[in-house]
Structure 1
Amino acid sequence: MVAIMNRELAMVIIPIFRLVSILLALNGVPLGFLGRASVKLETSLHRQNLRWYSDFLKVVFKGFLAWLPSINRYGKALELNQSEDMTEFPREPIEEYVKQTLGDDEIGAHTYDHIERVLTLALDMAGEMRVNIRVLGASALLHDIGRPFEKQVEKSHSVLSGEMSVEILRNLGYYDSEIDSVIQAIRTHRFSEGLEPVNVEGEILSDADKLDAMGAIGVFRAIAQASVDNRGIEGFLQHAHEKLLRLRDLMYTEIGQQMAQERHKVLEEFVNQLEKEMGLVS
Structure 2
Amino acid sequence: MTEELGSRARALAVPYYDDALPAHDQFHARRVRNLAVALANRVDEPVDRETLAATAWFHDIGRPRERAGEIDDHGAWAATEATDLLATEPVSDDRIEAISHCLRAHSIRPSSPEPETIEAKLLFDADKLDAAGARGLIRLACIVGERSGRTGERYAVIDDASAHGVESIDGPDITLLREWTRERLDALYTDPARSVGQSRWEFMTTFFEQFERELQTRPPTTRN
Short-chain TM bin: 0.7 to 0.9
**Separation of aligned partners in 1, 2:34 and 2:173:** 26
**1:236: Cα distance to partner?**
6.2
Kindly, what percent of the aligned residue pairs are identical? 27
**Separation of aligned partners in 1, 2:63 and 2:26:** 12
Where does the alignment leave 5 or more consecutive residues of structure 2 unmatched? 149-155, 160-171, 218-224
RMSD in angstroms over aligned alpha carbons? 2.1
The structure with the greater share of residues assigned to helix is 1
Determine the structure 1 residue equivalent to 2:126: 208
TM-score normalised by structure 2 residue count: 0.78
Q: Which has the higher contact order (CA 8 A, sep 6+)?
A: 2
**1:268: Cα distance to partner?**
2.0
Determine the structure 2 residue equivalent to 1:110: 24
Where does the alignment leave 5 or more consecutive residues of structure 1 unmatched? 1-79
TM-score normalised by structure 1 residue count: 0.63
**1:166: Cα distance to partner?**
1.0
Determine the structure 2 residue equivalent to 1:132: 48
Partner AA of 1:168 in structure 2: L
**Are 2:46 and 1:162 aligned?**
no
**Are 2:57 and 1:141 aligned?**
yes
Per-residue CA deviation, residues 181-204 of structure 1 (Å, 9 max, x unaligned), is 111111111123363201111000
Count of equivalent residues: 194
- Tell me the SS of whatever aligns to 1:191: coil
**Separation of aligned partners in 2, 1:184 and 1:192:** 15
Determine the structure 1 residue equivalent to 2:9: 94
**1:206: Cα distance to partner?**
0.4
**Separation of aligned partners in 1, 2:123 and 2:5:** 18
Determine the structure 2 residue equivalent to 1:232: 157
**Separation of aligned partners in 2, 1:180 and 1:115:** 20
Partner AA of 2:119 in structure 1: E
**1:164: Cα distance to partner?**
1.0
**Separation of aligned partners in 2, 1:100 and 1:139:** 15
- Tell me the SS of whatever aligns to 2:210: helix
CA contact (8 A) 2:51 2:119 kept: yes
